[in-house]
A and B are shown apart, each in its own frame.
Chain A
Amino acid sequence: MSLKLGQSLGSSAIIKTTALFSVVFFFVSIAASGALAQKRFSKTYPASKTVRLQLTNRSGTVTVEGWNRDQVQISAYLEAPAANIVPQSLSGTILINVVKDNQGRNEVGNVNFTVRVPYTSSVDIETRVGNLNVSNVRGGLVRANISSEGDITLTDIAASNVSAENVIGDIFFDGTIQSGGNYRFVSMRGNINVRIPFDAGFKLVATAPSTRNISLGAFNGGTMNVVKDGRRVIGRNGDGGATLTVTNQRGSIALIRR
Chain B
Amino acid sequence: MNCEQCQDKLSLFLDSELDETGCAAIREHLSVCSTCAGICEDLAMLVDVSSLECDDNAAPPNPTALWWRINNIIEGEVRAEIRREEKQKETEIASGWVPRRWQFSFSQVTAAIVGIALVSSLLTIIVIKQYSTSDDPLALKSEPTMIDRVLGKLGLVDTPQELRKRKVADREAAIDYWNKRVQERRGQWDAHLRDAFDRNLNEINQAVAEYTSILEENPQDELSGEMLDTALNEKMELLREFSEL
Contact = CB atoms under 8 A, between A and B. Distances in A.
B193 A250 contact: no
A47 B178 CA distance: 38
Interface stretch (B100-108, B165-173, B230-238): B230-238
B245 to A, nearest CB: 7
A149 B230 contact: no
Interface string A148-164: 11000000000000000
Interface residues of B, number: 27
A249 interface: yes
A123 to B, nearest CB: 19
Interface in A84-126: 99-100, 103, 105-107
Interface stretch (B90-98, B126-134, B146-154, B198-206): B198-206
A186 B233 CA distance: 12
A57 to B, nearest CB: 11
Contact of B199 (A58, A99, A149): A149
B227 to A, nearest CB: 5
A168 B227 contact: no
A132 to B, nearest CB: 14
Contacts of B234: 167, 188
A90 B238 CA distance: 28
B5 interface: no
A56 to B, nearest CB: 9
Given A59-B192, A128-B241, A147-B241, A209 B199 contact: no
Contacts of A100: 244
Q: How large is the interface on A (under 10, 10 to 19, 20 to 34, 35 or more residues)?
A: 20 to 34
A99 B244 contact: yes
A167 B223 contact: no
Contacts of A99: 244-245
Contact of B242 (A128, A210, A231, A249): A128
Contacts of A105: 188
Given A188-B203, A188-B207, A106 B196 contact: no
Q: Which of B204, B231, B237 has the most CB of A within 10 A?
A: B204
A176 interface: no
Interface string B180-215: 000000001110110011011001101100100000
B245 A249 contact: no
B237 A207 contact: no
Q: Which 4 pairs across A and B sit closest by C-beta, in order of nearness?
A: A148-B200, A147-B241, A167-B200, A106-B188
8 contacts: A58-B245, A106-B188, A148-B196, A167-B238, A168-B203, A207-B223, A210-B207, A232-B223
Given A148-B197, A167-B238, A186-B230, 8 more contacts: A103-B245, A106-B188, A107-B188, A128-B241, A167-B203, A168-B203, A207-B223, A209-B223
